[in-house]
Chains A and B, each alone.
Chain A
Amino acid sequence: MSETTGGVEMDEEVSGVVKKFLYVNRKAPYGTIYALESLEVVLIAAAFDQDVSLVFLDDGVYQLVKGQHTKPIDVKNFSPTYRALEGYDIEKLYVEKESLEARGLTEADLIVPVTLLSATEMAELMEDQDVVMSF
């Protein structure tokens, strides 16, 4: 049994190779397990001190909506965890503007500060990554 020490010892082993990781979230939070799985992978991978970005497209934007209250459906509300990401040094969260607008939402409806990008800008960001993980 060991605890992840969050890069302190790891730096020497990987000799400072930092790659760009992008996590693409395209599913609503509770209908399928994708959103929660993605969040868990992001939290675990945060220990490796990489250049991490998260994007939210399509129904993925529903993951960030304020005021989720899941007690009535008896599942864990993991939306507060997005606010913990900053403490994990994950600060690049992007939301596709078109997806948000199509769902009648604005930035004010979201639980964390995000950067809005158009689909074109998002495609450019995607292209620029070393690793893309899709959920």
Chain B
Amino acid sequence: MPIVVNGQNYETDEEGYLTNRNDWNEDLAKEMAKVDNCDLSQNHWEVINFLREYYEEYQIAPAVRVLTKAIGKKLGPDKGNSKYLYELFPYGPAKQACKYAGLPKPTGCV
């Protein structure tokens, strides 16, 4: 089902992940979050942007364990832990944040 943002149609798969990664923009992320009753804060954006950079470099969305470790390395231990990331993204940090970042679901997620 497509998502409509600023009068523009964006194609997503049955789970709401963006079909074409190049379609992504910040308003689209905000709209996806709104559907989940999630208001994107600076802390959310930090993770979303991190994921986009990670994908750019490695061409995959990281597993949650790898994401947690990598965030810790980059943003410090108070952010590189499950509790912090699950509070930001209660549906699962890798899964939910990847969706807002316009990335595919991480390999290994069921």
Contacts and interface: CB of A to CB of B under 8 A. Distances in A.
A96 B93 CA distance: 39
Interface in B67-97: 69-70, 82, 92-95
Residue in A2, A4, A83 whose Cβ sees the most chain B Cβ within 10 Å = A4
B58 A3 contact: no
Interface residues of A, number: 22
A5 B93 CA distance: 11
A43 B62 CA distance: 9
Contact of B65 (A7, A44, A78): A7
A44 B109 CA distance: 8
B36 interface: no
B64 A4 contact: yes
B35 interface: no
A123 interface: no
B61 to A, nearest CB: 10
A6 B59 contact: no
Contacts of B57: 80, 83-84
A4 B63 contact: yes
Contacts, number: 64
B64 A5 contact: yes
Highest count of chain B CB atoms <10 Å: which of A44, A76, A84: A84
Nearest to B107: A43
B101 to A, nearest CB: 15
A102 B3 CA distance: 52
B95 A44 contact: no
B52 to A, nearest CB: 14
Interface of A: 1-8, 40, 43-44, 46-47, 76-78, 80-81, 83-84, 87-88
8 contacts: A1-B110, A3-B92, A3-B106, A6-B63, A7-B65, A76-B59, A81-B58, A87-B70
